[in-house]
């Protein structure tokens, strides 16, 4: 039986803004809380109070903002020292994180601190016939889905894959409690220091966050041709990905590599250009909502997962596609 | 200095996953050292190249076949390998695995622990941070560059975060999880392979690690794994034909009006 029905969401923030995927976690928590008849609490570290309303609009019942000058930079240690006592005190049924670099390390650390189970990168959270909570998460980079039933009163720790739990729109009439709390951190216990944060040039979105990913393989022929993908990504407000051979050749940064030994993405639209589609690559992108493949080789395995295939030269088609999108998107603003 | 590298054996990433009764039928599948663990071993070897009094110890918890991965790491150049194996370790959860690794690390002593950023089978990314918690040492994950100050007592790590990188400093001892980009793992030399064959793999059992099943709560009771399924099959794709111009116009129309994804 589920005793506590509270769901605590750790809200990731940075540069005095809430990360967009944190709203997805709030939205997912709201849906589960409604199903269980429970409530959603959000924990933020060091953000301005005015930002908290948006969390309420997306579904939080109450927002706690821990305040301490040390939260100017947030390290794993500071976050763990903040959330652990709160979980111990509130005893929530579940704690939600975003499955980002931060969220994954924090959720894993918390699971060890509390000696409770962890599920990383969850893609669905549903109620079963007996009211039990069913979670699905990809394993083997998405080649298989693992099904897990949550047992007992928790806390269960879950990190949620980005782009999967997006809500339709916030409800600006929702009202919730927002509380600023002076939080003491035993600073003699802090070892980690953040020296520098560097944003990728051009302010491009991360491939895991983008709703559109335009990806290139060896069929792009040379690194200079990736400008064609960047142009298209810019028009579609997306990010540029790459296949492993492209990254191994040094044409693109490894942070853009899509596949089992790179990043796993789940965008609305994935456009694969000159990518043949190795098993590892398919594992990293085949959960995308809509997949377009452009490849000269009609037998390329990428066509087996594509919703729409174009047999042809990506170098020739890409500029035309960019131009066409510019026309129609330009006219609709 | 002593560096512990935690390694795992996984199913080859080139393998197609097939299921039988909602379970993985992995008997016939090739197994390899977890790709991210190769970066971890390589980084340890590079440190030893500049700091010669470094000992590199590989540690792995798993079935008998995991010895192949330890052997592969020895062939790359690691000094020692420790296999944590005992019938009591069958079906333990990841937290218990991390706990046993921490017990082994305490017995061995260490300045640095390296893990892969995740194992490419269960993709949980839990062992590294959990191990750091049990050892009460700082942890930096998804590291793509690692340097040390002159006295080897402070590490400066660059790690990948969403949309950029972050540079973090930590005193040692510390744990790092390794990401692609950190280095280019070497292939074992023939000499290395021969030498690895002769090296003895030490075994630590439950007794040695001071472990009994009663001692730790297990998440096996709170997370009930009910099975695996294959991802939904995608419907038959459509090929869009025509001149490049026609194809572009048609595709944009479909994505706007039918799929509504842009």
CA distances from A273 to A163, A246, A299, B2 (A): 22, 12, 14, 46
Q: What is the 3-state composition of chain B as percent helix, strand, coil, each rounded to the nearest 5?
A: 35, 30, 40
User: Is residue B242 assigned to a domain?
Assistant: no
User: Is residue B109 assigned to a domain?
Assistant: yes
Q: How far is CA A7 from the centre of its chain?
A: 19
List beta partners, residue B23: B20
Task: Measure the CA dihedral A97/A256/A263/A259, to 10°.
Answer: 170
List beta partners, residue B67: none
Residue of A nearest to B227 (CA): A147
Task: Measure the CA dihedral A83/A85/A87/A88, to 10°.
Answer: 160
**DSSP helix/strand/coil, A108:** helix
Which residues from B are below 8 Å from A211, CB to CB?
Answer: 261
**DSSP helix/strand/coil, B23:** strand
User: Is residue B229 assigned to a domain?
Assistant: no
CATH architecture of the region A6-189: 3-Layer(aba) Sandwich (3.40)
Query: Nearest CA to A206 among A71, A21, A17?
Result: A21
Is A147–B225 a contact, with Cβ atoms under 8 angstroms apart?
Answer: yes
Query: Nearest CA to B176 among B2, B6, B49, B57?
Result: B6
List beta partners, residue B229: A145
Residue A244's pLDDT band, with cuts at 50, 70 and 90, is: very high
- Chain B interface test: which of A24, A144, A202, A329 (most B C-beta within 10 Å): A144
According to DSSP, the β-strands at A193-199 and B164-171 are antiparallel
- Report chain B's terminal Cα–Cα distance, integer Å: 55
Could you say which of B17, B120, B241 has the minimum Cβ distance to residue A261?
A: B120
> pLDDT per residue over A186-221, tens digit each?
888 899 999 999 987 666 789 999 999 999 999 999
CA dist., res. A189 & res. A18, Å (int): 27
Is B261–A290 a contact, with Cβ atoms under 8 angstroms apart?
Answer: yes
CA dist., res. A66 & res. A185, Å (int): 10
Query: Min CA distance, A228 vs chain B (Å)?
Result: 14
Contact call for residues A206 and A239 (beta carbons, < 8 A): yes
Phi/psi of residue A95, nearest 5 degrees:
-120, 125
Task: Measure the CA dihedral A200/A204/A207/A210, to 10°.
Answer: 150
**Residue B198 belongs to what H/E stretch?**
helix B190-198
Could you say which of A119, A141, A283 has the minimum Cβ distance to residue B223?
A: A119
ipTM score: 0.95
Residue A2's pLDDT band, with cuts at 50, 70 and 90, is: low
User: Is residue B23 assigned to a domain?
Assistant: yes
Query: Min CA distance, B160 vs chain A (Å)?
Result: 7
pLDDT for the residue B212 = 83
Q: How many CB atoms lie within 10 A of CB B240?
A: 18
Which residues from B are below 8 Å from A208, CB to CB?
Answer: 162
The pLDDT of A288-304, averaged and rounded, is 96
- Chain A, 29 to 68: residues with Cβ < 8 Å from chain B are none
> pLDDT per residue over A87-127, tens digit each?
999 999 999 999 999 999 999 999 999 999 999 999 999 99
- Kindly write down the DSSP assignment for every residue of B239-260, as one continuous string: E--S-HHHHHHHHHHIIIIIS-
Contact call for residues B166 and A192 (beta carbons, < 8 A): no
Residue of B nearest to A306 (CA): B237
Query: Min CA distance, A55 vs chain B (Å)?
Result: 21
Which residues have C-beta within 8 Å of that of residue B174, sequence separation ≥ 6?
A191, B112, B113, B132, B137, B138, B139, B140, B155
CATH number for the A202-331 domain, one of 3.40.50.11740, 3.40.190.10, 3.40.50.1220, 3.40.350.10?
Answer: 3.40.50.1220
Query: Nearest CA to B19 among A147, A122, A160?
Result: A147
Task: Measure the CA dihedral A255/A261/A265/A271, to 10°.
Answer: 80
Tokens of A230: 């960047």
Q: Give the domain ranges of chain A.
A: 6-189, 202-331
Give the residue with greater pLDDT, B164 vs A4: B164
User: Is residue B251 assigned to a domain?
Assistant: no
- Below-70 pLDDT ranges, chain B: 214-217
> pLDDT per residue over A128-180, tens digit each?
999 999 999 999 989 999 999 999 999 999 999 999 999 999 999 999 999 99
Q: What is the CATH number of the domain that holds B45?
A: 3.40.50.620
| A6-189 and A202-331: identical CATH topology | yes
Q: What single-letter DSSP state applies at residue A168?
A: S
User: Is residue B259 assigned to a domain?
Assistant: no
Residue A331 has pLDDT above 60, yes or no: no
pLDDT for the residue A333 = 44
Sign of the Cα torsion A321, A323, A329, A331 reads negative
Residue A4 has pLDDT above 90, yes or no: no
User: Is residue B255 assigned to a domain?
Assistant: no
What number of helices (H) and strands (E) belong to chain A?
Answer: 8, 18
Residue A229 has pLDDT above 50, yes or no: yes
Domain that holds residue B85: 2-221
List beta partners, residue A295: A311
Is A308–B237 a contact, with Cβ atoms under 8 angstroms apart?
Answer: yes
Query: Nearest CA to B108 among B241, B6, B226?
Result: B6
Longest distance between any two alpha carbons in chain B, whole Å: 71
- Report chain A's terminal Cα–Cα distance, integer Å: 51
Which residues from B are below 8 Å from A312, CB to CB?
Answer: 244, 247
Tokens of A180: 């600023």
Q: Please indicate if any CB of chain B lies within 8 Å of the CB of A145.
A: yes
Residue A36 has pLDDT above 80, yes or no: yes
Total structural domains within chain B: 1
User: Is residue B91 assigned to a domain?
Assistant: yes
- Kindly write down the DSSP assignment for every residue of B96-118, as one continuous string: HHHHHHHHHHHHH--SEEEEES-
Scanning the structure block, which residue is given the tokens 């594509």? A306
Q: In chain A, what percentage of residues exceed pLDDT 70?
A: 97
């Amino acid at each position: 039986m589920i005793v506590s029905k509270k769901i605590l969401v750790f809200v990731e923030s940075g540069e005095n803004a809430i990360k967009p995927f944190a709203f997805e976690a709030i939205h997912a928590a709201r849906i589960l809380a409604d199903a269980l008849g429970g409530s959603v609490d959000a924990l933020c570290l060091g953000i301005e109070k005015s930002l908290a309303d948006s969390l309420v609009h997306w579904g939080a019942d109450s927002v706690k903002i821990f305040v301490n000058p040390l939260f100017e930079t947030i390290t794993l240690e500071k976050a763990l020292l903040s959330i652990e006592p709160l979980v111990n005190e509130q005893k929530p049924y579940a704690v939600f994180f975003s499955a980002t670099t931060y969220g994954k390390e924090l959720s894993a650390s918390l699971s060890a601190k509390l000696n409770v189970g962890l599920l990383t990168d969850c893609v669905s959270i549903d109620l079963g016939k007996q009211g039990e909570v069913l979670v699905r998460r990809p394993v083997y980079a998405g080649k298989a889905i693992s099904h897990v039933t949550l047992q007992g009163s928790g806390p269960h720790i879950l990190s949620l894959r980005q782009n999967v739990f997006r809500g339709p729109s916030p409800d600006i009439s929702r009202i919730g409690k927002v509380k600023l709390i002076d939080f003491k951190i035993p600073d003699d216990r802090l070892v980690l220091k953040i020296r520098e944060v560097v944003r990728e040039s051009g302010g491009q979105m991360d491939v895991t966050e983008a709703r559109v990913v335009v990806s290139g393989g060896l069929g792009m022929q040379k690194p200079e041709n990736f400008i064609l993908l960047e142009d298209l990504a810019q028009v579609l407000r997306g990010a540029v990905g790459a296949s492993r051979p492209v990254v191994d050749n040094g044409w693109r940064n490894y942070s853009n590599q899509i596949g089992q030994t790179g990043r796993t993405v789940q965008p609305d639209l994935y456009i694969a250009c000159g990518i043949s589609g190795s098993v590892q690559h398919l594992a990293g992108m085949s959960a995308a909502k809509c997949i377009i493949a452009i490849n000269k080789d009609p037998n390329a395995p990428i066509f087996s997962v594509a919703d729409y295939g174009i047999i042809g030269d990506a170098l020739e088609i890409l500029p035309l596609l960019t131009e066409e999108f510019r026309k129609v998107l330009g006219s609709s603003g | 200095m002593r560096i512990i590298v935690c390694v795992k054996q996984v199913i080859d990433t080139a393998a197609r996953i097939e299921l039988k009764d909602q379970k993985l039928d992995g008997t016939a599948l090739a197994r390899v050292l977890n790709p991210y663990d190769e970066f971890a071993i390589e980084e340890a070897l590079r440190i030893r190249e500049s700091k010669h009094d470094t000992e590199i110890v590989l540690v792995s918890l798993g079935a008998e076949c995991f010895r192949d991965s330890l052997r592969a790491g020895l062939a790359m150049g690691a000094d020692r390998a420790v296999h944590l194996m005992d019938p009591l370790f069958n079906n333990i959860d990841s937290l218990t695995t991390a706990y046993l690794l921490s017990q082994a690390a305490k017995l061995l002593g260490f300045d640095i622990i390296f893990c892969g950023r995740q194992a490419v089978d269960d993709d949980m990314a839990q062992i590294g941070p959990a191990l750091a918690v049990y050892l009460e040492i700082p942890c930096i994950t998804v590291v793509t560059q690692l340097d040390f100050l002159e006295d080897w007592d402070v590490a400066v790590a660059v790690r990948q975060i969403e949309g950029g990188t972050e540079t973090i400093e930590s005193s040692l001892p510390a744990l790092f999880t390794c990401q692609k980009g950190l280095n280019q793992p070497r292939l074992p030399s023939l000499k290395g392979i021969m030498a690895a064959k002769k090296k003895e793999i030490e075994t630590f059992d439950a007794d040695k690690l001071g472990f009994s099943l009663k001692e730790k709560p297990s998440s096996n009771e709170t997370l009930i794994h009910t099975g695996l399924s294959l991802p939904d099959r995608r419907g038959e794709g459509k090929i869009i034909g025509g001149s490049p111009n026609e194809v572009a116009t048609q595709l944009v129309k479909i994505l706007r009006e039918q799929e509504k994804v842009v």
